């Protein structure tokens, strides 16, 4: 098997600062005391934003990523169909780059198939403790800033469903075909993508990826101990396109001796991303400019870093 050495590992600095948290929240561990991907990822996960609008008048606001939301007047109802009036709270969570998708555990995958995304978001509306819904026949607007490769023809609405089958992802994306289906065209406006969903919840503007594939080996180096598959999060993102795919499930093959063997990779220029928690520390490594070819072997060297620094390195790739 041909062994290709690609010396484009990003060297990441280690930050030893403590991470602040809001009162009442579980504190995020400092480096040296990470116990799981869950509490390590919380350090770099995208944060939601909550705003209050008047349901009678509607309203517009921006999320944390610069995405603009526009809700029309009298757009909400309760679970029993009653019209909602007065103030309502709207919470939005956005993933508009690969770092958010990885650390927010919202990978661009549909039943383990690759998706190319224009952006993901989750919208919730409540009044007090009551969950609210869009009224029948009503739509709201979402104006997503375009990122690399985002304004690609052929994108459509995908809805997100809770999933635990893909390591590193809590959401499985499926083309909307249910009775709460998303409606309206996707409009490309140069610097934004405009969507008109008719229901709240997890939404993704994307399409299925495609391309010829090759069988390769991917080895994780940098730690003397053999790493168990369950202790590794491995990802693959396409160069110039917004995608975040799990190596652990999407590409088949086997795993032994810290190596993914006979992994099925798309023959497109890409970046391989690997991280683990070891002795309380977060380790990460990136191998860039990989174009898979049959029989090739790649080595990703991981080093001690922090989730925050690693996320910044991921977002700087494309």
pLDDT tens for each residue of 198-234? 899 999 988 888 888 888 999 999 999 999 888 999 9
Q: What CATH number was assigned to the domain covering residues 49-208? A: 2.60.220.50
* Domain coordinates in residue numbering, the chain: 2-43+211-315, 49-208
Mean pLDDT of 190-198: 86
The predicted structure's pLDDT at residue 289: 92
User: 283 vs 32, which has greater pLDDT?
Assistant: 283
pLDDT band at 237 (very low <50, low <70, confident <90, very high): very high
Does residue 244 surpass a pLDDT of 90? yes
The predicted structure's pLDDT at residue 24: 45
With pLDDT > 90 as the criterion, what percentage of the chain qualifies? 59
Tell me whether strands 68-71 and 113-127 are parallel, antiparallel or unpaired: unpaired
Mean pLDDT of 183-208: 86
Does residue 5 surpass a pLDDT of 50? no
The mean of the pLDDT values for the chain is 85
Does residue 279 surpass a pLDDT of 80? yes
Tell me whether strands 130-131 and 141-145 are parallel, antiparallel or unpaired: unpaired
The predicted structure's pLDDT at residue 17: 33
The predicted structure's pLDDT at residue 1: 42
pLDDT tens for each residue of 103-124? 999 999 998 888 999 999 999 9
User: 99 vs 18, which has greater pLDDT?
Assistant: 99
pLDDT band at 12 (very low <50, low <70, confident <90, very high): very low
The pTM for the full model equals 0.88
pLDDT tens for each residue of 45-77? 999 999 999 999 999 999 999 999 999 999 999
């Amino acid at each position: 098997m041909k062994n290709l050495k690609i010396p484009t590992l990003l060297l990441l600095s280690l930050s030893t600062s403590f991470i602040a948290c809001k009162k009442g929240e579980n504190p995020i561990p400092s480096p040296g005391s990470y116990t799981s991907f869950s509490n390590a990822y919380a350090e770099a996960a995208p944060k939601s934003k909550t705003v209050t609008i008047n349901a009678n008048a509607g309203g517009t606001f921006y999320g944390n990523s610069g995405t603009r939301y526009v809700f029309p007047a009298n757009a909400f109802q309760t679970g029993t169909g009653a019209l909602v009036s007065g103030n309502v709270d709207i919470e939005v969570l956005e993933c508009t780059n690969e770092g958010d998708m990885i650390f927010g555990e919202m990978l661009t995958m549909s039943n383990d198939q690759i998706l190319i995304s224009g952006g993901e978001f989750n919208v919730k509306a409540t009044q007090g403790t009551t969950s609210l819904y869009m009224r029948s026949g009503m739509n709201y607007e979402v104006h997503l800033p375009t990122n690399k490769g985002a304004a690609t023809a052929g994108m459509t609405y995908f809805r997100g469903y809770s999933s635990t089958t893909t390591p590193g992802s809590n959401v499985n994306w499926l083309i909307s075909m249910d009775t709460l289906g998303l409606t309206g065209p996707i409009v490309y406006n140069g610097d934004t993508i405009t969507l008109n969903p008719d229901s709240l919840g997890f939404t993704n503007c994307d399409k299925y990826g495609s391309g010829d594939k090759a069988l390769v080996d991917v080895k994780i180096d940098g730690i003397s101990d053999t790493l168990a598959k369950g202790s590794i999060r491995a990802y693959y993102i396409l160069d110039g396109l917004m995608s975040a795919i799990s190596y652990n499930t999407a590409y088949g093959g086997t795993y032994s001796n810290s190596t993914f063997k006979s992994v099925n990779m798309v023959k497109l220029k890409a970046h391989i991303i690997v991280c683990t928690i070891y002795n309380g520390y977060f380790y990460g490594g990136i191998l860039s400019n990989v174009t898979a070819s049959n029989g090739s072997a790649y080595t990703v060297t991981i080093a001690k870093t922090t989730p925050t620094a690693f996320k910044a390195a991921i977002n700087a790739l494309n």
